[in-house]
Amino acid sequence: MLGPPLRPPMEAVETYKRVLDISNSHVVLLGVTPELAGLGAAMTAVDESSDMIAGIWPGDTDMRKAIHGDWLDLPLPDAGMEAAIGDGCLSALASSIARQSLFAAIAKTLRPDGRAGLRLFAGPEIPYKPADVQALALSGAVSTFHELKWRVAMTAAGNAPDHAIPVKTILDRFDELFPDRQELSAQTGWALPVIGTIDVYRNSNAVYSFAPVSALISEAKAFFGDVGTVSTGSYGFAEQCPLLTLRSPRRRTA
């Protein structure tokens, strides 16, 4: 039942290809996002969850494989990879320190002419007001339920530098704003089972982060000489899901 913006639509996938020029490259994929599994001439996907690899990775071939590993200590040769990509991976990290560790790990594994692109789930520079998110959804102006989940999360994300929120808190805030799921379904046309997907957050120990673009660019510049963003399309909430581009990796020695 998951869809955009949680999963990358085709226009976002095409943005990776066009902006990073990776058709002939060996690509490192952070995670096992199936929509990205066909990019590059060869691919090594890295995920710490064996369940995720078994559950959603479309399978190893002669040109691609998935391996178990830690994003912050990538099991790959230093300065050996041409490109790295990831989808929402920065939001899976709970702190600014962890995000910077990921930038360092990517910079370490890329060749001097390597490049990386990470689609963001970026919080707004000025946090959303809960009442505004509630009114927007009930007016039918939110494109998908998955967009609403992120908007709700961004009303409750913590302060700088981490901009973090426990996943359970997203569900709590949602229930506060939308106590009547029947009404939400009637006003939006979203089926109750789709709305019910948020209940998987109830027993989660995960912590997400939704740092704004300006904060992420600032963090990345310590590890890359060329940092920018590119739109990933016109799908709902695309304005908060740009591709963060990273070039000219800086080498850091211990």
Bridge partners of 81, per DSSP, are: 110
Nearby residues of 153 by Cβ (< 8 Å), 6 or more positions away: 165, 170, 173, 208, 210
Q: Any idea what DSSP says for residue 50?
A: H
The pLDDT value given to residue 1: 60
For the segment 160-167, the average pLDDT, to the nearest whole number, is 96
Do 122 and 240 meet the contact criterion of CB atoms below 8 Å apart? yes
Amino acid of residue 7: R
State yes or no: pLDDT of 30 exceeds 70: yes
The pLDDT value given to residue 251: 75
State yes or no: pLDDT of 254 exceeds 80: no
Q: Which two tokens stand for residue 215?
A: 């904060």
Q: Which two tokens stand for residue 158?
A: 């913590």
Domain boundaries, the chain: 10-122+211-249, 130-206
State yes or no: pLDDT of 124 exceeds 80: yes
Q: State what percent of residues in the chain have pLDDT above 90.
A: 97
Confidence of residue 60 (pLDDT cuts 50, 70, 90): very high
For the segment 200-212, the average pLDDT, to the nearest whole number, is 97
Mean pLDDT of the chain: 96
- CATH for 10-122+211-249 is 3.40.50.150
- SS3 percent helix, strand, coil of the chain, rounded to 5, is 40, 20, 35
State yes or no: pLDDT of 253 exceeds 70: no
- pTM greater than the 0.75 cutoff: yes
Angle, vertex CA 21, rays to CA 15 and CA 24, nearest 5:
130
State yes or no: pLDDT of 23 exceeds 90: yes
241-250 burial, b at 16+ Cβ within 10 Å, e below that, comes to: bbbbbbbebe
For the segment 222-241, the average pLDDT, to the nearest whole number, is 98
Confidence of residue 2 (pLDDT cuts 50, 70, 90): confident
